[in-house]
Structure 1
């Protein structure tokens, strides 16, 4: 686990604040992976994103929505 990623305890604190799967259309991607990807991007500031965090567009769209 990288230093900027959420621990199990930290994620348990915010999981209730994240949207549930009650919307129409495609289901949400894994919230933990997306949140960790946003944190990685904000902490490093590099213009690229590792594959383990998924698509850059998913991270961007979710960041803007939240």
Structure 2
């Protein structure tokens, strides 16, 4: 079981660990955000097209006997 520390010591440790983090620059954040938006758009278009195609094929199969 982990040893308990007081809140003040905990906050000091958190601050120490946070200072070790390498934060992305504004440019890196903007590029990453843009890439995510582009990939989400491609995925949405692909799945929309696949859904429409499968719906059309299913309507052809199910309307054969009608």
**TM (normalized to structure 1)?**
0.27
Larger Rg: 2
Greater relative CO (CA pairs within 8 A, separation 6+)? 1
**TM (normalized to structure 2)?**
0.27
